[in-house]
Amino acid sequence: MSQGELFEKGLKVRKEVLGEDYVNKSLAGADEFTRVMAEWSTAYCWGALWTRPGVDRRTRSIANLSMIAALNRPHELKLHVKAALKNGLTKEEITEIFLQVAVYCGVPAGIDSFRIAREAFKEVDAG
């Protein structure tokens, strides 16, 4: 499959998971320097990986929350907390994931993850 085909496949999934408005703004905000990363991540993260069989979106969200929290990437974590809710995770499940992050990756990572998730929950609840 060509990168263009992967991009189109990934764009569809990315919009379903993250929301069309977010994705459209993200791509529209890309400039000459950042466009290559925006297109590459859409093609390969979303088109090649998120569309693979064998692991559903819910499970991918669990893995993403764990890894992104451990890596201390607050912007991406907030985005993926919202996506995890869309993919069927509950706030209680997200709590358990972040408790596990705190034990295995450090309490500061857990504390930050809870803070970021709370912000995401408020934004989702506000509509």
How large is the average pLDDT for residues 19-31?
Answer: 95
Instruction: Report the pLDDT value the prediction gives residue 86, as an integer from 0 to 100.
Output: 96
The mean of the pLDDT values for the chain is 96
The phi and psi torsions of 106 (rounded to 5 degrees) equal 120, 140
Whether 3 contacts 43, CB under 8 Å: yes
pTM of the entire structure?
Answer: 0.91
- Can you give the residue ranges of every domain in the chain? 1-52, 54-127
DSSP state of 124: H
Q: What does the alpha-carbon distance between residue 113 and residue 96 come to, in Å, rounded to a whole number?
A: 11
Task: Give residue 127's pLDDT band: very low, low, confident or very high (50, 70, 90).
Answer: confident
Q: Which fold has domain 54-127?
A: AhpD-like (1.20.1290)
Read off the pLDDT of residues 45-95 as tens digits, 9 standing for 90 and up: 999 999 999 999 999 999 999 999 999 999 999 999 999 999 999 999 999
How large is the average pLDDT for residues 117-123?
Answer: 98
Amino acid identity at 86: K
